[in-house]
Structure 1
Amino acid sequence: MHFLCIEQKTQYVYYLSIVPLLLVSTISDSHAATYSINPTSTHIKFAIERFKNSATAGGFYNISGQLQYDPDLRAGDISLIIPIDSLNTGNTSFNKSLIGPDFFDAKMHPSARFKSTKWYFNKAKKPQVTRVDGYLTLHGETHPISLTATKFECGTSVGFKQEICGGNFTAMIDRTKWDINKFAWFGLTKNLQLNIKVEAARQ
């Protein structure tokens, strides 16, 4: 009886050790399509309210990265690289201030990154993306954020004869969590509403 218990325990340990390998195998064997982010059609826009004056809109551009997407498995993955010096508000002086050491500090932290950890879908027969969770690395800090999908679709582009995935997402971040604190308590927007547009072409 004692020997049987040891044998059962051994089988249980073996089962626990093999499950992660099976999961990895399932993911690697899936047929998720891979897409390359189009920098000219992908951007992150925001608005900054300066000392209770009208808001100034700005954005980050020339974003690169990769998307993997499989609607049948209700699975996705996206990684974005955001160059900080691409920031543009239409005001050269304000641009320099924002990418300077008091705010985003492009010299010390030239890029921000977003890496998804989980995609959420509705229960419709044709699944739609509803939310994407992930980690945003910005200004040397990494914290979780959630992106709410307002639209995400894939289809063949008539002009380019290539499969394209595109989507719009929104997110709210508190910049002080990423140690960007300048004037946060004196009227310069602390919470930033991000409006994210992504487009990617199948490789």
Structure 2
Amino acid sequence: MKNILTPVLLAIISSTAAYADTYKLDPDHSNARFAIGHFGTSTNHGGFYNLTGDITVDPQRGTGQLKVIIPVASVNTGNQQFNEHLKNADLFNVEQFPTMTFASTEWNYVDGMPQQVTGDLSLLGVSHPVTLTATQFNCYQSPMFDGATVCGGDFEAVIDRSQWGMDYLVELGIPKEVKLSIQVEAVKQ
């Protein structure tokens, strides 16, 4: 009996492990963007580019892992002077903190698709939990990667920037609330 169970258990473990697929972020199709009010008149937008990281997706078990590394110096608002101000010590302090990261701690699936990803956002040397909501997610065979499977989606959250010590101009009317949108596409490894 022992000899029969061992191969069966190994087959079950192997087939279960096969469900978890690992993907490497494609920096050309991954970015993090932000939107923040500007004295109640308009909304400033900007983004970070050339993101790196990995995703592991396991819809069978309802789990996953996402690690995104965001190079802060890549910030782009379309205005060079504003870009440089965002990089200084008043805001993102690129010299001391060149990257921010998001590392997932929990995934929530509905019908085999990720709906929310909770994790730790590290910014300015401080980490706080953030829950990103998936606004879309899909996997497809990519003609750009010789038919390799690519999975990704759009995720968003509203965060309170003051939790990370980014209080610049809060007392003068710039909101604490920032809409954060993260777009990731990753190639199966």
* TM-score interval, normalised by the smaller of the two chains: 0.7 to 0.9
Q: Which residue number corresponds to residue 140 of structure 1?
A: 125
Q: Shift of the alpha carbon at 1:150?
A: 1.0
Amino acid at match of 1:82: I
Q: Which residue number corresponds to residue 158 of structure 1?
A: 143
Work out the CA distance in 2 between the residues paired with 1:166 and 1:69: 10
Q: Which residue number corresponds to residue 47 of structure 2?
A: 59
Work out the CA distance in 1 between the residues paired with 2:108 and 2:36: 29
Runs of 4+ in 1 over 3 A off after TM superposition: none
What secondary structure does 1:114 align onto?
Answer: strand
What secondary structure does 2:170 align onto?
Answer: coil
Amino acid at match of 1:135: D
Q: Shift of the alpha carbon at 1:77?
A: 0.4
Q: Which residue number corresponds to residue 94 of structure 2?
A: 106
Q: Which residue number corresponds to residue 33 of structure 1?
A: 21
* 1:169 equivalenced with 2:149 (yes/no): no
Q: Which residue number corresponds to residue 177 of structure 2?
A: 191
Q: What is the Cα-based RMSD across aligned positions, in Å?
A: 1.5
Q: Greater Rg, structure 1 or structure 2?
A: 1
Unaligned runs of 5+ in 2: 1-12
Q: Shift of the alpha carbon at 1:159?
A: 3.9
Which deviates further from its counterpart, 82-91 or 188-197?
Answer: 188-197
Percent identity at matched positions?
A: 39
- 1:58-109 deviations in Å (ceiling 9; x for gaps): 0111100011112222221010100010111001111111110000100010
What's the TM-score once normalised by structure 2's chain length?
0.87
* 1:48 equivalenced with 2:33 (yes/no): no
* 1:84 equivalenced with 2:72 (yes/no): yes
Amino acid at match of 1:128: M
Work out the CA distance in 2 between the residues paired with 1:35 and 1:129: 15
Work out the CA distance in 2 between the residues paired with 1:48 and 1:147: 17
Work out the CA distance in 1 between the residues paired with 2:186 and 2:179: 23
Work out the CA distance in 1 between the residues paired with 2:108 and 2:151: 16
What's the TM-score once normalised by structure 1's chain length?
0.82
